[in-house]
Structure 1
Amino acid sequence: MAGPGGRMMAGGGPDQRSMDFKGSGKRLIAQFKPERTTMYAMLAAGVLSVALSVLGPWILGKATDLVFAGIIGRQMPDGTTKEQALQGLRERGDSGIADMLAGVDFTPGQGIDFGAVGSVLLFALGTFLVSGLLMLVATRLSTYAINKTVYRMREDIQAKLSRLPLSYFDKRQRGEVLSRATNDIDNIGQTLQQSMGQLVNSVLSIIGVLVMMFWISPLLALVALVTVPLSFVVATKVGKRSQPHFVQQWRTTGKLNAHIEEMYTGHTLVKVFGRQEESAKQFAEQNDALYEAGFKAQFNSGIMQPLMFFVSNLNYVLVAVVGGLRVASGSLSIGDVQAFIQYSRQFSMPLTQVASMANLVQSGIASAERIFELLDAEEQEADPVPDERPERLCGRVALEKVSFRYEPDKPLIDGLSLTVEPGHTVAIVGPTGAGKTTLVNLLMRFYEVTGGRITLDGVDIAKMSRDELRSGIGMVLQDTWLFGGTIAENIAYGAAKDVSREEIEEAARAAHADRFIRTLPDGYDTVIDDDGTGVSAGEKQLITIARAFLSDPVILVLDEATSSVDTRTEVLIQKAMARLADGRTSFVIAHRLSTIRDADTILVMENGAIVEQGSHETLLAAGGAYARLYQAQFAQAVAEVD
């Protein structure tokens, strides 16, 4: 639980820019490489769809020309030619009208050819229909490619999390890491779904429309392009203003999730110590920060669309004015101008869509940067290939001048040497921070030694694969861990292979968990959640101990394993542990010295060094650090019992 002004408020402010927008965008696009065949097919369908869609206005323009030619032809005297009709208009002083009608293909005396108009409209309908079907195909292919890509990214994140060293998680809040693996990856998926297909369609539409515009009238096309630089300037300026806020929005989202996760996990302690108000205050601060970042990001990117609509309308006015003048001069037909106005709208609309998608794209790239930051995190050293392994696992552990430090300038363990013979039980005691748990973490290779080496049956554990090393070690921690499922499934989690119900129950009996499990409504099939709701803290510990029994380890590690059980159960577990430890090497970390009296060797650690070692009786007789610890815990209690 973060204290006031603590690590919960760490992180950059809104002025922090995206680290590498262009680089992250390219890297996100590169994620589609395995789906390139699908993407090519999508592009092909998209190109054909846009090409047919772009032809539509031109075809409709031809229909307009046919209708207009019929209206004009019906008003002209029958039996004359087009040239004679125009000459008659000029002789009457209507030269302007004659110039305008010069570009119209009419026949004097003939009205609208509804058959030809119907054929053109039917052709236009077919064109739009095929265009729509092709766009449906392109959209489906795009959806498939995006979902497969996001699926692989989730797999990459999961695989990456399994390769990260324990130090990575020690330095980061669990909720923040979870936010990257859930919120950020979901945001990327939504961004791609909402923007990629539309973005590709918009770009293709811009290209297709430009081709048609230059084909109909190069002059009007150049007029339409006058506003493009203005659109580019607007998009660039607004994008630069909003991107830092999107980065901050997702960073703050991660912090808020971390705070919520911490407060929910520790809600009992929050209430016990009366920290509800302080917790709510921290939540409000984080929520306000997220609101500010989200508001600024959405507002800055939201002004893009109104500005682009203004530019689009400006473009429309220019095209309409110049197009009208060209019709009046007879250089263009009314149908061509009608098509061109539609094209100018089609040209402006994709530009507006691309600009309005800037907030989505910027939000997605901000999340992608957080994902790539996770994927680029330094991993634990790879297992050696080929790896070494003992010919036979016996459990002989030797520490040879082992040194370790979490921080380069703060040594914790320095020059520690120790040999543990197979089948021996080694108890490790000492004050908090002495290095007891660190010693076990080094044995499990959760951390790597910074000096010296640790061997298992003569083989340096750094030359063994982690899976091979840990498969021979059973571990029971002070903090129990259960997952949502039945009690039987939780116990079976410790087995390397499928186990029978009889084996599960045998392990539970060995850990003295069978009795309380059978009193539950569904016995071994009782479903518990990850918090172990329905069972007490001591009962959860018994389940984890049964899990260790089932794993049948060569080396057993018990880190305050009996701290949550009552005295009677503790005695039973000690007997069970003695039976489990028979023939196995055991490391027992304990503060309660009553649990380690029967250990073969007791190590007393202070400041990362072993200051005493020996049996319980030997160390008591020596009158040193162990004797002082023992006297502090048990001298008075033992006297009263005696």
Structure 2
Amino acid sequence: MTQETSPSTAGWKPFVRLILQTKPSKTLLALALSLNLVTTLSGLVIPLLTKHVVDNFSLANLNAVQMAGIGLAFIAQAVTAGISTYLLSRIGQQIVSNLRHRLWQKLLKLPVSYYDEHQTGETISRMTNDTGVLKGLITEHSANFFTGIISIVGSLVMLFYLDWKMTLLLLIAIPLASAVLVPLGRQMYKISKGLQDETADFTSVLTRVLSEIRLVKASNAETREFENGSSGILKLLRYGIREGKVQAGIAPVMSFVMMLMFVLIIGYGGLRVSSGALTAGALVAFLLYLFQIVLPTTQITQFFTQFQKAKGATERIIETLEAEEESVLGLPLERADLPIVLEGVSFAYKGGEAVLKQVTFTAEPGKVTAIVGPSGSGKTTLFSLLERFYSPTGGTIKLGEVPIDRYALPSWRSRIGYVSQESPLVEGTIRENISYGLDREVTPEELDRAAQMAYADEFIGQLPGGYETEVGERGLKLSGGQRQRIAIARALLRDPQILMLDEATSSLDSKSEIVVQQALHNLMRGRTTLVIAHRLSTVIDADRIVFVEKGTVTGVGTHDELFASHPLYREFASQQLRLQDRPS
């Protein structure tokens, strides 16, 4: 969990600053507040008119103008209150929408290292639950807050005008209520912050389990995951009960204070009326103004209760918005048909041991460079550095003579085609997956050509929907070989100058592997290709083989050269090729 911040450091300023950054409409806000003022003034007129009616009350003295004035004041109050509440709610919805747009844009700009340190469910919680808390505060409570403030201030002014002594008596309630509500507010802040953390953790469990439901069922892990989920549910229940206790404490305190005020005013006011210091109409008006204070005070109390929740959400959102982004600035990459040079490259994940140590080799343009070695030797990490998901902690990666981090990130990645072992697909159609990431319209001819070269056209043509067939979540409606061929078609459509293949055929059956190998051969033609492979049979013909052990390059050469000079490579090759030749 994130380290807890004291309530004093997480007050109004961060929240207000966050809201102002969304650039709410000043025109709509001014109109809404103006109508709020009209609502309050209309409400303030009603008790005064009522005072005159009561003081001069008799059938003979009923004044049609006064009665019409009261009626008009009621109508004006209702109409302006409705419009202003709608406008404030609309402004609030726009603020939250703009905030979500900003947060979504930020999440897409954050580096891969951010997602290594934050669970997916936690990030989703920032986007949905935390913005939902702010939405509740702004759209449901802020309108009542602004209306209530104006109503209370106006009513207090009129109360002082009617009888300043009784008004001073009312103000005794403020320290009484504050003595209880301020500590309860601090408790609500701590509870809401913990509740948001637990909600994020629970969302992480849901995301992890539901996204890998096949693994859960195949492993008979339902009972274990039920216990994990139940633990999260119970934690949320405890926080919910604690929140209920605080809210249960606030309501009786407010009720007690309000009843105390009414008893004091009626008792003391009755004495002043009987002594002639106050008219009966003035006492009635005083009570009506008191009603105009009581209801807004309750609404403002609810606002502050919700605000305590919003403070924690604000901190989490600001923390995400202030996270360091990937730098996209740099030189445009005009040509990538140059050697890729690694000079003393080292890398360690945050807080971990070095995964790569002083890696040095060159991938020649237009040729195939294979990276082989035992599992866990850092081969996939090397690809992550080339994709610039991470930056080396030591050494340099160059394209020709220029370090690759000098190039603009979108320009660099646009020249790379990456086909991984998993071949991830997005939910949607085959057409959308092949053209995924391109910022231009793909013609049917281009789509067909890419599919043919990837040997994907045959199975696509046999599907009822053709290119419009839905692939399902993560492409689960397709076989592994079909997903691989769609990934290859996607890479072909990008026409990259640099190609990276990460175990692209290791999970396929022999029949699918033959087809995918043919597709890869089409894809590799004329491109600088780097290949990670466990099976040496797939890279024996590579122009250069780089052997990596425990993050260190221990041999570079052709298959024949390494077989003759590198003992571990010779052992690898002998075992694998012997196994390959063994009859099934």
- Is TM-score (shorter-chain normalized) higher than 0.5? yes
Match of 1:404 among 347, 352, 360: 347
Whichever of the two has the greater Rg, that structure is 1
Structure 2 CA distance for aligned equivalents of residues 221 and 257 of structure 1: 51
SS in 2 for 1:133: helix
Which residue number corresponds to residue 61 of structure 1? Answer: 51
Write the letter of the residue equivalent to 2:69.
F
Match of 1:324 among 249, 270, 274: 270
Which residue number corresponds to residue 175 of structure 2? Answer: 229
Show the 5 A alignment for 1:461-610. Answer: 461-610=404-553
Structure 2 CA distance for aligned equivalents of residues 195 and 398 of structure 1: 59
Structure 1 CA distance for aligned equivalents of residues 9 and 546 of structure 2: 50
CA contact (8 A) 1:54 1:208 kept: yes
Write the letter of the residue equivalent to 2:304.
A
Match of 1:45 among 35, 42, 48: 35
Distance 1:531 1:577, change over 3 A: closer
Which residue number corresponds to residue 113 of structure 1? Answer: 61
Structure 1 CA distance for aligned equivalents of residues 359 and 21 of structure 2: 47
Can you list the C-alpha shifts for 1:464-488, whole angstroms capped at 9, x where unaligned? 1100100000111222322222111
Which residue number corresponds to residue 356 of structure 1? Answer: 302
Which residue number corresponds to residue 275 of structure 1? Answer: 221
SS in 1 for 2:241: helix
Write the letter of the residue equivalent to 2:165.
L
- Is 1:344–2:287 an aligned residue pair? no
TM-score normalised by structure 2 residue count: 0.95
Structure 2 CA distance for aligned equivalents of residues 137 and 11 of structure 1: 41
Structure 1 CA distance for aligned equivalents of residues 439 and 270 of structure 2: 81
CA contact (8 A) 2:333 2:412 kept: no
Shift of 1:172: 1.7
Show the 5 A alignment for 1:159-238. Answer: 159-238=105-184
Structure 1 CA distance for aligned equivalents of residues 263 and 455 of structure 2: 86
Which residue number corresponds to residue 414 of structure 1? Answer: 357
Shift of 1:162: 2.1
Distance 1:528 1:63, change over 3 A: farther
Match of 1:437 among 368, 380, 385: 380
Write the letter of the residue equivalent to 1:64.
V
Shift of 1:25: 3.0
Can you list the C-alpha shifts for 1:77-97, whole angstroms capped at 9, x where unaligned? xxxxxxxxxxxxxxxxxxxxx
SS in 2 for 1:379: coil
Which residue number corresponds to residue 207 of structure 2? Answer: 261
Structure 2 CA distance for aligned equivalents of residues 633 and 64 of structure 1: 104
SS in 1 for 2:266: helix
State how many pairs are aligned. 584
Shift of 1:32: 5.4
Structure 2 CA distance for aligned equivalents of residues 602 and 347 of structure 1: 81
SS in 1 for 2:202: helix
Write the letter of the residue equivalent to 2:43.
S
Distance 1:356 1:146, change over 3 A: closer
Distance 1:282 1:153, change over 3 A: same
Structure 1 CA distance for aligned equivalents of residues 333 and 278 of structure 2: 89
Shift of 1:324: 0.7
TM-score normalised by structure 1 residue count: 0.87
CA contact (8 A) 2:450 2:490 kept: yes
Write the letter of the residue equivalent to 1:561.
A
Structure 2 CA distance for aligned equivalents of residues 128 and 592 of structure 1: 84
- Per mean C-alpha deviation after superposition, the further-off stretch among 599-608 and 611-620 is 611-620
Can you list the C-alpha shifts for 1:73-131, whole angstroms capped at 9, x where unaligned? xxxxxxxxxxxxxxxxxxxxxxxxxxxxxxxxxxxxxx5323x1x32121011112112
Which residue number corresponds to residue 423 of structure 1? Answer: 366
Shift of 1:604: 0.9
CA contact (8 A) 1:605 1:611 kept: yes
Distance 1:519 1:547, change over 3 A: same
SS in 1 for 2:345: strand
SS in 2 for 1:434: coil
Can you list the C-alpha shifts for 1:15-57, whole angstroms capped at 9, x where unaligned? 9979624443333443454433332222222122112112212
Match of 2:390 among 447, 460, 467: 447
Which residue number corresponds to residue 91 of structure 2? Answer: 145
Percent identical residues = 34
Can you list the C-alpha shifts for 1:495-532, whole angstroms capped at 9, x where unaligned? 44211122112211211111111221211111232232
Structure 2 CA distance for aligned equivalents of residues 139 and 155 of structure 1: 24
Can you list the C-alpha shifts for 1:306-342, whole angstroms capped at 9, x where unaligned? 2101100000011111111111111221111001011
Which residue number corresponds to residue 14 of structure 2? Answer: 24
CA contact (8 A) 1:427 1:603 kept: yes
CA contact (8 A) 1:604 1:625 kept: no
Write the letter of the residue equivalent to 1:517.
I
CA contact (8 A) 1:494 1:550 kept: no
CA contact (8 A) 1:16 1:248 kept: no
Write the letter of the residue equivalent to 1:588.
V
Distance 1:259 1:140, change over 3 A: same
Structure 2 CA distance for aligned equivalents of residues 520 and 33 of structure 1: 49
Structure 1 CA distance for aligned equivalents of residues 105 and 461 of structure 2: 38
Match of 2:325 among 358, 375, 379: 379
